[in-house]
A and B are shown apart, each in its own frame.
Chain A
Amino acid sequence: MNPFPSNAGWVNRISPWFLPVVFFLTWFAVSETGMVPTYLLPHPKDILAAASTYIFSEAGQGPYAGRFFKDLVASSLRVVSGFGLAASAGIPLGLLSGRIAAVNRMVGMTINALRAVPGISWLPLAMVWFGIGLKTTVFLVALAAFFPIYLNAEAGARQVSPILLQAGAMMGVHRLRGTFAILIPAAMPQIITGLRLGMGISWAYLVLGELTGVPDGLGALIMDARMLGRIDVIIVGILMIALIGRMCDLGLNQLLRLSFKSARRMP
């Protein structure tokens, strides 16, 4: 199947970095030639300097100096809370709705109607209800992450082969035990897809929530930098979110694989 078996491991290890490196080199080349003015796209070394100030400098030594960890903690807390709420509502409700027609009839229409509302439409309402800060952001993140988690759990539960449930039943495994021993493991691939999509969306809505004028967080950083015309800081913020978002995705995957046999042994 693999045409290059001898160096396959090596190629596989570096291939994820191919696109970022090409992207960075192009950026570097464009900046060196001066084709693009720096107020539109700063030189990579300026970005590096801004990032280093943002992450490592002592707080108070300059604008944005040393804010990183405070922002990271604030943003992570919001993402984790919102995502946690979404998962703890979305998975059980999705599984129920996928297996029990009555539940599906009862909640399906409402959920799909709400799903059609763009998340940003909730922002004004959330600000009125929850004010500015943690609660609004958590609300937006939870709301946005709920739908992919719910829909995938529902599809997963619906597609579980009835013969597996019958096999369980004839071995004396019914209802609650069957849910944990058969239904959830069998729906695991879709549940994981839903959680990963939900995690991605959580970061997107985090920035939306933090645009409202909260003092800390990565979204707040980007918004603040926009007001002051600090393109370099905006790019630092974007790169940080890309990095942390990817780490969250990996972490989520590892956590699931650690906790569930069915996640480890997914085909």
Chain B
Amino acid sequence: MTARLHLVDQRTEAMPAILDVAALSKQFSTNGINPVVVLQDIRFSARRGEMICFLGRSGCGKSTLLKILAGFIPPSSGSVQLNGRPVGRPGPDRCVVFQEDALFPWLTVKENIAFGLKGRKLSRREREREVDRFVSLVGLDGFADYLPQAISGGMKQRVSLARVLILQPEVLLMDEPFAALDAQTREEMQNLLLDLWKEFSHTVLFVTHDVNEAVLLADRIILMEKAPGRIREDITIKLPRPRKKDSAPFFNQCRVMMAKINQV
């Protein structure tokens, strides 16, 4: 297990950048006179298969950054390139898992997961097999025919994960996806995400304000400060995986991060 993880680490080191963000800034102006600078001169790149956490207090623009990367809102200046091409409107190469419930309430768990596959060239049987596989992968066997209103918040986020992973996105954008869940469910979901990441090794950009969560998940933590939203520090987390939340190195790393975030 450790050998394989080691390999993954080496591979990500060697991988070229998949996502490049350069000199990105965003300002909102309500009246045109006093624009609010939400993001200023954001630059970073992500390698294929990397898990990057954006850590910062509320108001530092981390969610806005994710919305720009997803294509929901345009940047004021700067560029976002995926595989060397500038990104435009939202698309299945950059899928989002939202914090709030964004499932279609009139579709069952299975139908929600199948939603994005509808336009693809797949036979009905292939599609059904694929959907069943992802229902299992996120641990929802037996719940495939439930409507969203009948399942818990944690299960809804499992569906949200499955419906985007099935589309094989280049980059997975996660906007505090587990913040609304209780502590135990959050931990389950973090482990599920790590398991799926090990299996698919997609690139993940994960926004959070939870230091523990960031240290548990991230290859790199990008620490953000607010007013204006800027990158303060880009920290590589070298803890070996699987990480144990009750181990001394993990605890120390969290303390270091906590100290850094308190200076912001």
Binding site for B on A (CB under 8 A): 161, 163-164, 166-174, 177, 181-182, 185-186, 188, 261-262, 265-267
Which residue of chain B is the closest to A266 with respect to CB atoms?
A: B106
CB of B152 to closest CB in A, whole Å: 17
Q: Number of B residues whose C-beta is below 8 Å from A?
A: 27
Q: Which residues of B lie under 8 Å from residue A161 when comparing CB positions?
A: 102
Q: Which residues of B lie under 8 Å from residue A166 when comparing CB positions?
A: 70, 72, 90, 96, 98, 102
Q: A166-B72, A181-B118, A267-B149 given as contacts; is B95 within 8 A of A171 (CB)? A: yes
| CB atoms of A174 and B98 under 8 A apart | no
Within 8 A of A (CB), among B154-171: 163-164, 167
The one of A170, A262, A266 in contact with B92, judged by C-beta atoms closer than 8 angstroms, is A170
Which residue of chain B is the closest to A182 with respect to CB atoms?
A: B104
The one of A170, A182, A261 in contact with B96, judged by C-beta atoms closer than 8 angstroms, is A170
Binding site for A on B (CB under 8 A): 70-72, 89-92, 94-96, 98, 100, 102-107, 115-116, 118-119, 147, 149, 163-164, 167
| CB atoms of B116 and A171 under 8 A apart | yes
The one of A170, A174, A181, A261 in contact with B70, judged by C-beta atoms closer than 8 angstroms, is A170
User: How many contacting A-B pairs (Cβ < 8 A)?
Assistant: 69
- How many angstroms from the CA of A185 to the CA of B103 in the assembled complex? 13
Q: Which residues of A lie under 8 Å from residue B96 when comparing CB positions?
A: 166-167, 170
Knowing that A166-B96, A181-B115 are A-B contacts, what are 20 other residue pairs whose CB atoms are under 8 Å apart, sorted by A's residue number? A164-B104, A166-B98, A166-B102, A167-B104, A169-B71, A169-B72, A169-B89, A170-B92, A170-B96, A171-B95, A171-B115, A172-B91, A172-B116, A172-B167, A173-B115, A173-B118, A173-B119, A188-B106, A265-B105, A267-B149
- How many angstroms from the CA of A170 to the CA of B173 in the assembled complex? 10
CB of B58 to closest CB in A, whole Å: 19
- How many angstroms from the CA of A99 to the CA of B98 in the assembled complex? 22
Q: A164-B102, A166-B72, A171-B163 given as contacts; is B119 within 8 A of A265 (CB)? A: no
- How many angstroms from the CA of A166 to the CA of B98 in the assembled complex? 10
CB of B223 to closest CB in A, whole Å: 26
Which residue of chain B is the closest to A265 with respect to CB atoms?
A: B106
| CB atoms of A171 and B106 under 8 A apart | no
- How many angstroms from the CA of A7 to the CA of B1 in the assembled complex? 61
A-B contact pairs, 10 of them (CB 8 A): A164-B102, A166-B72, A169-B89, A171-B115, A171-B163, A171-B167, A172-B92, A172-B119, A261-B106, A267-B105
| CB atoms of A163 and B115 under 8 A apart | no
| CB atoms of B115 and A185 under 8 A apart | no
Q: Which residues of B lie under 8 Å from residue A262 when comparing CB positions?
A: 106
Which of B70, B90, B91, B118 has the most C-beta atoms of chain A within 10 angstroms of its own C-beta?
B90
| CB atoms of B149 and A174 under 8 A apart | no
The one of A169, A186, A265, A266 in contact with B90, judged by C-beta atoms closer than 8 angstroms, is A169
- How many angstroms from the CA of A163 to the CA of B147 in the assembled complex? 18
Which residue of chain A is the closest to B106 with respect to CB atoms?
A: A262
Q: A163-B98, A163-B100, A265-B147 given as contacts; is B106 within 8 A of A174 (CB)? A: no
* Shortest Cβ-Cβ A-B pairs, 4 listed: A171-B116, A262-B106, A169-B90, A172-B92
- How many angstroms from the CA of A124 to the CA of B92 in the assembled complex? 57
| CB atoms of A185 and B106 under 8 A apart | yes
